[in-house]
Amino acid sequence: MTELFFSAFVTLFVVIDPPGCAPIYAGLTKGASPLQSRSMAVRAVLIASAILLVFALFGEDLLGALHIELDAFRIAGGLMLFWIAFEMVFEKRTQRREQRVEKLIATPEIADVSVFPMAMPMLAGPGAIAATMLLMNEASGLEESLVVLGALAAVMALMMAGLIAVAPLIRLLGDKVEAVITRLLGVLLAALAAQYVIDGLRGSFGLG
């Protein structure tokens, strides 16, 4: 169970990317008071957690209703995660987030960023939803499912702590250290994504 928790935790941590989201959140809430910033951070994490929990519990039924095989979802999810990894390694993901920040800052009437873009699509984006569904579908039995949900809860707790403490976190890490961490996480995510695709192809063609 420890190995399952660690594997699920690493996968979700890399996909949801707390170190990458924290600086973006700082830019989005630059004009907010400390109380407003904390409130939006808590609200964003709770909303994102609720979205991911719904897909974790009912994602398999949704696939069945749409007549989508799990192996096909593994391949699609793996390719999606690989694209996210590519963007992380080459800083495309960070550039897109920064552009979104600039647009929101240029629109002063948008004050509350907890729902959009923080909860969705930054925290509970397509990659996080795909990873959560894949991990839950690969868990066998109630005990393993609870371990995966525990890993998700741990990642979201770290995300909340990171968003609340974002200002000192940025000062501690610095831009260069953050870029190195993001690239390392991207390489790890690429390997995990490739494994999802391999597993999906094996299941589809009966190779494993």
When mean pLDDT is compared across 126-140, 146-160, 184-198, the lowest value belongs to 184-198
- Lowest-confidence pick of 45-49, 88-92, 203-207: 88-92
pLDDT digits (tens, 9 = 90+) for 34-50: 888 899 999 999 999 99
State mean pLDDT over 139-152: 94
- Which H, E and C letters describe the chain, residue by residue? CHHHHHHHHHHHHHHHCHHHHHHHHHHHCCCCCHHHHHHHHHHHHHHHHHHHHHHHHHHHHHHHHCCCCHHHHHHHHHHHHHHHHHHHHCCHHHHHHHHHHHHHHCCCCCCCCHHHHHHHHHHCCHHHHHHHHHHHHHCCHHHHHHHHHHHHHHHHHHHHHHHHCHHHHHHHHHHHHHHHHHHHHHHHHHHHHHHHHHHHHHHHHCCC
User: Model's pTM, two decimal places?
Assistant: 0.71
Contact by Cβ (8 Å): 26, 170: yes
Q: Higher pLDDT residue, 10 or 94?
A: 10
Helices (H) and strands (E) in the chain, counts: 8, 0
CA 150 – CA 142 distance, rounded (Å): 12
Q: Furthest-apart CA pair in the chain: how many Å?
A: 57
Q: What is the pLDDT of residue 110?
A: 45
Provide mean pLDDT across the span 11-23.
85
Distance (Å, rounded) from C-alpha 104 to C-alpha 28? 7
